[in-house]
Amino acid sequence: MNDSGHTSLPVALAPAETAAPAAVEHDYSLTAVPGWWWQPQDVKHLIELYAARPIFDDTAEWLIRDNPYRRPIDRQSIKDFDFSQPLNKSAALGASALAAHRMLLNIYETDLIFLPDKNFEAKRKDFASYYSNDNKLLGEVIRPTLEAHVFDFLKDEINVTGKWSLEAVKSYLQSLIAKHEQSELELCTAILSSADPQRACRALMVQLACDFLTEASASTRNILGKYGDIQSEFFKIVIDDYGYGVHPAKHSTLYENTLATCGLISEAHAYWQFYLSSSLALSNYYHYVSRDHSKYFQAIGAIAVAESMFSHTCHKISQMLHAVFGKTVDTYYFDEHFHIDAHHGRMAFEHVVAPAIERHGNAVIPDIVRGMEELQVLTSLADEDFIAQVSFCDEAEDLKAAGRRIHAQILEGSVEKPATTHVANRSQSLVTRVYDQDQLYVVESGELDLVLGPDQTVRLGRGEAMIVKRERLHGTAVVSDESLYSVYEMGNER
Amino acid sequence: MQVVTFDPQQFNFITAGESSYFLLRLPDGSMVLYDDCCDHRGGPLHLGHWDDTRKCLVCPWHASKYSEKVLRSRAIPLIQHSGRVTAVLDTAPTTQIKLVRKTILAQPR
């Protein structure tokens, strides 16, 4: 008996010939995506509307304390971006990618529950707005355009051909693991050789917080439904991540402890302003392939490779944390993953990927291999992005000196660069951004802070200057009653 | 099995023991790594030609034809990624593998 009160049998067993006359064929798939109902210019307008929602407005502080619904997008810049075309890989860390990824994570995470630790009543309006139908529906309409903008380059980047077998996939995965386990992590090398290893290490913990504080949330999208014993095997991996319902054992709780002993805040998205585009991309990718169930096989490929490689990654990060912070840092999150992900890698392949291939045929393999590859492309991009940001932060004084030199050349007329001049009062609203070209900031009067990370600010006084490299995340804040400053577009010469 | 990664600009032909494979870029830009030995009488397929009208590879010996669909479905497992390719060869771990650059006459223009 179904819930309607009617018996379902006559309907379910009705022979085809007694069914309603064949309807006129419609290609409904066309009506559900932008391009049919929604022309690119309409979607752009909707994206601007989405970014203009008050909860996504700039914030008064760089750190967003205990309010998981406040997630700045930088609505002032949105109008300048063309989201209608896919980015290529070389633009994947650019300004429009950062905005698109911020919006996508906002959209995806309306499916998750976030509650503040304290004082819910004061945040109730934001809570209601974030989970409102308006927010969710608007997000749904713009989501495919944003996904295509930031993820379609993966289709060109990767091609899987040939006659694959389960054995070939296994050999390929083993070769990836063997290569990874022989490698020193470039991330760790960059942190250890940084001018300020503790700052660089905290920067990494901030990037990882984007995903680790909601660990496995995207994967939970694949544990519902009905698809046999593979579903139950997948579920085992997820419940490990959730600590079997024991809160102190939940992996996100372990990560909160690591953050605390590194001197960082563990509230969800407190560091929203400081997430790099590539860190958001990694979190978003899991949602992208797990939310759209036609990408299920990509999702399990990505998860198999992630689980298989994460053990070694965690081992190296744990060693690096001890080298940087000594014995006081809590590395249990990483030590636990060093242990359990050796199992999860095996479980993901032997109990999820392999049975999926055996049951559903070799035709699913290209999707599985694509998922493995796509995750690696995004992980490499995230490593490059993070290392470049560490290098940028380390070079701040050099970039000030270079800025002074170039500004002198501009003043004497030997160099010409387009500039915009700003007169601003003390900053009340803050947002971080990246630019697609190098920028030169020059302060004519007053004081301007260039914020390079949650614990690094470069203050520029009158006559001081600094270059901000393209694709490097930073924020600006006028810290005097008024400031006159110029921003020169330097192009991309190195 | 052996997994080999290489730059397709530098190498386009693999020998693995007694077997050999050639890299072919199909008209849509995707690549396949295919057994160089024709099913019919063992002709060297990389010296065949591409029939643009029929969209197929033609063996240089007896004109056996291999459609794009056949090439894709029977090729060696291959991944193109970031300008490189990775092939999974069904050979013993001890089999010696050599990467070579050859003129692939069968390459679609």
Q: Longest Cα pair distance anywhere in chain A, in angstroms?
A: 88
Contact A162 B72 (CB under 8 A): yes
For A458-491, the pLDDT digits (tens) are 999 999 999 999 999 999 999 999 999 999 999 8
Contact B77 A172 (CB under 8 A): yes
For B55-73, the pLDDT digits (tens) are 999 999 999 999 999 999 9
Burial class (CB in 10 A: 0-12, 13-18, 19+), A129: middle
Contact A171 B32 (CB under 8 A): no
**Residue B80 is nearest to which of A158, A167, A380, comparing CB atoms?**
A158
More confident residue, A6 or A34: A34
Contact A164 B72 (CB under 8 A): no
Q: Does the pLDDT at position A33 exceed 90?
A: no
Q: Does the pLDDT at position A188 exceed 70?
A: yes
* C-alpha distance from A303 to closest chain B C-alpha (Å): 18
Contact A172 B75 (CB under 8 A): no
The number of beta carbons lying within 10 Å of the beta carbon of residue A115 is 11
Query: Sheet harboring B31-35: ordered strands across?
Result: B31-35, B19-25, B13-16, B97-100
Distances in Å between the alpha carbon of A292 and those of A394, A437, B27, B90, B91? 40, 34, 30, 34, 37
The CATH 1.20.910.10 domain(s) of chain A lie at: 160-394
Question: With an 8 Å Cβ cutoff, is A161 touching chain B?
Answer: yes
Give me the residues paired with residue B34 across strands. B22
Question: What residues in A contact B33, CB-CB < 8 Å?
Answer: 161-162
Beta-strand relationship, A158-161 and B78-81: antiparallel
DSSP labels, A261-307: HTT---STTTTGGG--HHHHHHHHHHHHHHHSGGGHHHHHHHHHHHH
Rg (CA), chain B: 13
Domain boundaries, chain B: 2-100
For A150-176, the pLDDT digits (tens) are 999 999 899 999 999 999 999 999 999
- Report the length, in residues, of chain B: 109
Q: Which residue of B has its CA nearest to A363?
A: B73
Question: What residues in A contact B8, CB-CB < 8 Å?
Answer: none
Query: Sheet harboring B56-58: ordered strands across?
Result: B49-51, B56-58, B65-67
CA A369, A178, A218, A358 dihedral sign is positive
Give residues with Cβ within 8 angstroms of A244, minimum separation 6. Answer: none
Q: Does the pLDDT at position A16 exceed 80?
A: no
What is the per-residue pLDDT for A359? 96
Mean pLDDT of A395-422: 93
Q: How large is the angle between the packed helices A95-108 and A40-51, nearest 10 degrees?
A: 70
- The correct answer on CATH 3.40.50.10490 for the domain covering A160-394 is no
The torsion of the CA quartet A317, A318, A319, A320, rounded to 10 degrees, works out to 50
Question: What residues in B contact A376, CB-CB < 8 Å?
Answer: 81
Question: What residues in A contact B73, CB-CB < 8 Å?
Answer: 163
What's phi and psi for A346, nearest 5 deg? -65, -45
Question: With an 8 Å Cβ cutoff, is A172 touching chain B?
Answer: yes
Rg (CA), chain A: 25
Query: Sheet harboring A456-460: ordered strands across?
Result: A432-433, A474-478, A448-453, A456-460
Q: Choosing among A161, A174, A369, which should be mutated to test the B contact, i.e. which has the most B CBs within 10 A?
A: A161
What is the per-residue pLDDT for A351? 94
Token pair of A135, please?
A: 């927010």
Going by C-alpha positions, the residue among B74, B92, B72, B89 that lies closest to residue B31 is B72
DSSP code, position A329 = S
The H or E element containing residue B25 is strand B19-25
The number of beta carbons lying within 10 Å of the beta carbon of residue A78 is 22
Question: With an 8 Å Cβ cutoff, is B86 touching chain A?
Answer: yes
> CA A479 to CA A469: how far, in whole Å?
22
> CA A477 to CA A431: how far, in whole Å?
9
The H or E element containing residue A236 is helix A229-241
Question: What residues in A contact B22, CB-CB < 8 Å?
Answer: none
Question: With an 8 Å Cβ cutoff, is B39 touching chain A?
Answer: no
pLDDT grade, residue A493 (50/70/90)? low
Question: With an 8 Å Cβ cutoff, is A47 touching chain B?
Answer: no
SS3 of residue A104 by DSSP: helix
The CATH 2.60.120.10 domain(s) of chain A lie at: 415-491
Mean pLDDT of A66-88: 95
Contact B81 A175 (CB under 8 A): no
DSSP labels, A371-419: HHHHHHHHHHHHHHHHHHHHHHHHTHHHHHHHHHHHHHHHHHTS----E
pLDDT grade, residue A94 (50/70/90)? very high
Going by C-alpha positions, the residue among A121, A384, A108, A114 that lies closest to residue A252 is A114
> CA A63 to CA A493: how far, in whole Å?
33
Question: What residues in B contact A377, CB-CB < 8 Å?
Answer: 81-82
Distances in Å between the alpha carbon of A149 and those of A33, A83, A118? 14, 6, 37
What is the per-residue pLDDT for A37? 63
Q: Does the pLDDT at position A436 exceed 70?
A: yes
**E-state strands within A72-179:** 158-161
pLDDT grade, residue A11 (50/70/90)? very low
The torsion of the CA quartet A162, A163, A169, A173, rounded to 10 degrees, works out to -20
- Degrees, nearest 5: CA angle A330-A334-A338: 140
A389, A199 in Cβ contact below 8 A? no
Mean pLDDT of A100-111: 98
Question: What residues in B contact A182, CB-CB < 8 Å?
Answer: none
For A217-232, the pLDDT digits (tens) are 999 999 999 999 999 9
Per CATH, the number for A415-491 is 2.60.120.10
pLDDT grade, residue A134 (50/70/90)? very high
Contact A171 B74 (CB under 8 A): no
Contact A171 B2 (CB under 8 A): yes
Q: Which architecture, in CATH terms, is B2-100? A: 3-layer Sandwich (2.102)
* C-alpha distance from B61 to closest chain A C-alpha (Å): 24
Residue at A85: amino acid letter: Q
Question: With an 8 Å Cβ cutoff, is B70 touching chain A?
Answer: no
> CA A347 to CA A447: how far, in whole Å?
56
HSE (side-chain half, CA atoms, 13 Å) at A82: 5
- Degrees, nearest 5: CA angle A61-A63-A69: 95
Token pair of A253, please?
A: 């709780």
Question: With an 8 Å Cβ cutoff, is A163 touching chain B?
Answer: yes
SS3 of residue A195 by DSSP: coil
HSE (side-chain half, CA atoms, 13 Å) at A331: 22
The torsion of the CA quartet A178, A182, A183, A188, rounded to 10 degrees, works out to 110
